[in-house]
Amino acid sequence: MLRKFRALFFLIPATVAFAQQPSPTPTKPKPPPEPPTTVSSVHVDGPYIALTFDDGPHEKLTPRLLDLLAQHHIHATFFVIGENVAQHPEILQRAVREGHEIGNHSWSHPNLAKMSDDAVRSQIKRTEEAIIGAIASRPVLLRPPYGSLTTRQKHFIHDDLGYEIILWDVDPLDWKEPGPNIVSSRILKETRPGSIVLSHDIHAQTIQAMPATLTELEAKGFKFVTVSELLKLRTPVPPPTPKPVGTPATTPSAPVAPSPNG
């Protein structure tokens, strides 16, 4: 009897303590993820790509590039520097007449992420005014120099200034001037449907790389559109296909010995 009493004596405080524990707080549902403020590539139903050229217009090289694009009936997107627009507005006017798109690439190509918000706004607005003065149309696309922006800057450029912020998924590093053949091979290797291809129309090697590059991209079946056209062709990414239940596991193949010439 005494043993039962002792057991009950120790059980009562434990029961009371357990009853006094706070009930778990219901977890709040996670908010849906915010839509991305930058675009590097898109999912498309078809072999569509966008060629983009930065840092121009260049007095001699950009007209050569426009000649080449016209021969191939290709429309591209030019992200231009405000200082260069002010010096060569006639090149922008020709580009627009021939069906190309003009985007904002800042006034003097600084790293915007290291600047104040007011300085960033000035870089963008001055370039916007120069473009409007040249072609009587406001740009709606912006590519930050070096692809560099803070999260806060991305939001006010998109939400307040009304720009789509465009990056890239194919970068041949042509600004390092590795040679026309390497520039071309990098673009051909990396380009996929929905790609945004980065190049610069201020480097002679880039222009030299374009004839073979455009011919090979056409041979692969790619179709060229401006960035705004590519965004309109964007389709939702399909969900992954579920694996069928009960599929027997495949037997791994025997390893292949490496080639001595690898």
CA 81 to chain centre: 19
Neighbours of 93 (CB within 10 A): 13
Distance CA 112, CA 129 (A): 18
The DSSP secondary-structure symbol of 112 reads G
Helix (H) or strand (E) holding 227: helix 227-232
45 in active site: no
Distance CA 112, CA 150 (A): 8
Which of the residues 88, 105, 200, 203 is marked catalytic?
200
At residue 78, the 3 state secondary structure works out as strand
Which of the residues 54, 55, 174, 201 is marked catalytic?
54
The burial class, CB within 10 Å (0-12 / 13-18 / 19+), for 64 is: middle
DSSP codes of every residue in 164-214: EEE--SB---GGG---HHHHHHHHHHH--TTBEEEEETT-HHHHHHHHHHH
54 in active site: yes
Residues forming the active site: 54, 200
